[in-house]
Homo-oligomer: A and B are copies of this chain.
Amino acid sequence: SFSAITVASSQCSITGIPLVRNISEIPQDNYGRAGLSHITVAGSLLHGMKEVEVWLQTFAPGTHTPIHRHSCEEVFVVLKGSGTLYLASDSDGKYPGKPQEHFIFPNSTFHIPVNDAHQLWNTNKHEDLQFLVVISRPPVKVFIYEDWSMPHTAAKLKFPYYWDEQCYQTPPKDEL
């Protein structure tokens, strides 16, 4: 309907957004993934960022990302809770293989080596896991694996990613 289009386009417009924003007032959504809360703190599609993007994410107990890889850099800063980072560092093989497990905790930081398959879990049954995520070269292009033995070549591109779907506009052919 006309009003739905108006709402969508105003949520996707970078004009009129105040320079200093209260993160508590930025809309959050689970984008169809139960247990997730995602906020785009500074984004390509929402705020005109071209080189970096910042997210605030909260994972309820048991919630996890898909197994995935991307060619952009990604840095995490854990604000609250704890969990497990699964990281398969052998991106030279045909498939990710058995990942290493890394415990993550409040005030910890880590970055994901470019193109390494990884997955984050809130493995703490009692507490939400909250972190800031920084990525380069937004909007993110994610390849998703069904399991750790799926060949790299079979991983499926999810683009635009969940939170970019609403505001992403296919670029004109000559920009591709």
Residues of A in contact with B (beta carbons under 8 Å apart): 19-24, 41-42, 47, 49-52, 54, 72-73, 75, 77, 85, 87, 102-105, 107-111, 132, 134-137
Contact = CB atoms under 8 A, between A and B. Distances in A.
A42 B109 CA distance: 8
B23 A51 contact: no
Q: Give the number of times this chain occurs in the complex, counting copies.
A: 2
A162 B47 CA distance: 29
B54 A73 contact: no
The DSSP consensus for interface residues of chain A is strand
B132 A19 contact: no
Chain A to chain B: the 7 pairs with minimum beta-carbon distance, closest first: A51-B136, A42-B75, A20-B110, A51-B73, A23-B107, A52-B136, A20-B102
A107 B22 CA distance: 6
17 contacts: A20-B109, A21-B108, A21-B110, A22-B107, A23-B77, A23-B107, A23-B108, A42-B109, A42-B111, A42-B134, A49-B75, A52-B52, A54-B75, A54-B77, A54-B109, A54-B134, A77-B132
